[in-house]
Structure 1
Amino acid sequence: MSYKYTLGGIDLSTIGVYVESGSNDFLKLPDLKEPYKVDWAEMNGIEVDLSDPKFKEKEITLNLAIVAFSESQFWSNYNAFLNLLRSPGTKRLFCGDLGRSFFVYYSKMNNYQKLSPIAGETKIGARYSITLVEPIPSLLKPFAFLTKKGGGYLLSTTGSLLNTAT
C-alpha cells in the first residue's frame, strides 16, 4: 500500500519522490539529555535528578526513491525537491502511514544511487536517503485529548487533566 507524504504542504508524489522506508524512526523515543548528577564522596554511586527529564533532538533517516519519465521531468522534480529541502525554517512533514505530522529540517543526504542513466532516457529512477532533524520531538508533547464517555476530563496541551463534566 502506498501512503501519502507531504513536506511543507507539497505532496511528494507530485514531484516524483516516494518514501520507501524510515518513518519508524519517528516512533522512537529520543535520547535523554545528560541529567544533573552529584557524586557524593561518602556514598556509593551517584545521585541523579530525573524529576523532570529532558530529551535531545531526534534524527530521522528516510529512504527515498525518485521516478521520472523524461530527462527534463527528472531535473525539474529533483531540483524542486532540493529547493524544498533547503528552504528556510522547519517544515511540516505529514507521514501518511503514521497519520501524523512532524516539524523537521534537512540535515544531510546519503547513499545516492542512480538506477538508470539520466540523459536521454524515458524511465529514470534513483534511490537515496535523507536525514531530517526534529528539533523538538513531538512524541513528548500531548496532542490527543482524552475524554470520558458522557463528558469529563480532557487532557490539555500542558498535560494537565481538566474536569469538563457539567
Structure 2
Amino acid sequence: MTGSVTIDGVDISTFGMFILKGGDYDFLPFPDRKEPEQNNWHDYNGVDVDLSEIYFKEKRVIVRFYIANDTTQDFLSNLNAFYTLISKPGYRQLYSRDFDKTFSLRYVSCPDYSHKGGLYKYGRKRGELTVEFSMDAPIQLFTRPTLLQPVGGRASITHVQINGYDLAAFGIIVNEAYNTVLNLPAVKPPLIRSFERRSGLLVHTPADIAYETKQIVINCTMTANTRAEFYTNYEALFNNLTLTTAAVSLRTYEGTEDCYYTAMQGFKKLRPFGSRIIVEFSLVLTAIAPGMRVYVLGTTDNRILLTIAGQAIKI
C-alpha cells in the first residue's frame, strides 16, 4: 500500500491507512450542471432556455479510509496526525496512484467513524472513516476543452452517436435508455381554483395541452485498455456533452426533442485502474420541449435517434 495515496505529499500508509474498496468513487464523476437561465411559459411545451453559457456545481467527494495499528499509542497518534493533516486551512492535494491523478480538495467533515478493538485491551485497533471533501473547482480534471475526438474504443457499435461518433468509440456500452426516452412527460397544470364551500376543483382546461420538461437517463458501461485511453475518451465525452454551440437534440421516429446535459449519476469503478478499466455511470439529459410522441416501431429501422449539435444519435 506504500505510495498508493498521498495527501500534501504525506503517504497515508505511514499512518497505517489506505482507501477502502469502493471508497474512491466520487473523484471522477462529471459535475452537475448549474441550471441555465430559462423561462417556463405556461402555454408552451417545456422551457425557453439559454444554452450559450454553461457552469457547474461544486462536487461533494466522499472518501472512505481504513486505519489499523497494533498499539493504542500508535493508533491514537496516527489518527490524530491524519485528522490534523486533512483539516488544515486551505486545500489538500490528494494523489491516487490507482487513478494517477492529483485532486485539489477542501475538508468539510467526518460524518462517520466505526471502531473495532478496545483501546485498553491488547490486540490490533482498527477504524473506518468516512471523510467529506468539497471539490470547489469541479472541472479541474478536464483541462483540454477542444478535445472532442475519442481514441481506441469498441468494435461493436451501440447505435448511439454524439457529434457523429458512436458511443462505442468512447469505449461505451449503452445498457438502457428506453425507460426514460419512451416515458410520457407531465402536463403543465391548467388554471385551477379551489373553494372552501365547493367540492373538488374548478378547472379551466386549455384547448391545447403543454408538457413539462422531462429527464432522459442513459445507463452506460465504459471500458478502456489503459489510463491514457480512458482519460482521453472520458474528457472527450464530457466536452461533447457540454458544448455551448447547440442544444443536445433528441430525435425519434415521430419527431425531434432538444435536450441539455444535467448530471452524471451512479459512477462506479468495477476494476482497479492498473488493469483493464471498467466503470459504470448514467448520463442525465433534460428534454427542453418534450411534447407527446407516438412511437411506431418500423420493420426496417425501429431505432430511436438522438442528436447533439445536429448530429444523429441512434439507439
Q: TM-score if structure 1 supplies the norm length?
A: 0.78
Q: Residues 1-166 of structure 1: matches in 2 within 5 Å?
A: 4-20=4-20, 21-40=22-41, 43-137=44-138, 138-142=140-144
Residues 71 and 123, structure 2, Cα contact 8 Å, conserved in 1: yes
Give the residue type in structure 2 aligned to 1:19.
I
Q: TM-score if structure 2 supplies the norm length?
A: 0.43
Question: In 1, distance between residues paired with 2:52 and 2:123?
Answer: 60
Question: In 1, distance between residues paired with 2:79 and 2:96?
Answer: 20
Equivalent position SS for 2:25: helix
Question: In 1, distance between residues paired with 2:122 and 2:37?
Answer: 59
> What is the RMSD computed on CA atoms of the aligned residues?
2.3
Deviation at 1:42, TM superposition (A): 6.5
Unaligned runs of 5+ in 1: 146-158, 160-166
> For the pair shown, which has the larger CA radius of gyration, 1 or 2?
2
Question: In 2, distance between residues paired with 1:35 and 1:22?
Answer: 32
Equivalent position SS for 1:111: strand
Equivalent position SS for 1:79: helix
Unaligned runs of 5+ in 2: 148-238, 240-315
Give the residue type in structure 1 aligned to 2:135.
E
Deviation at 1:110, TM superposition (A): 2.5
Question: In 1, distance between residues paired with 2:110 and 2:38?
Answer: 37
**Larger relative contact order, structure 1 or 2 (CA cutoff 8 Å, min sep 6):** 1
Count of paired positions: 145
Question: In 2, distance between residues paired with 1:41 and 1:64?
Answer: 50
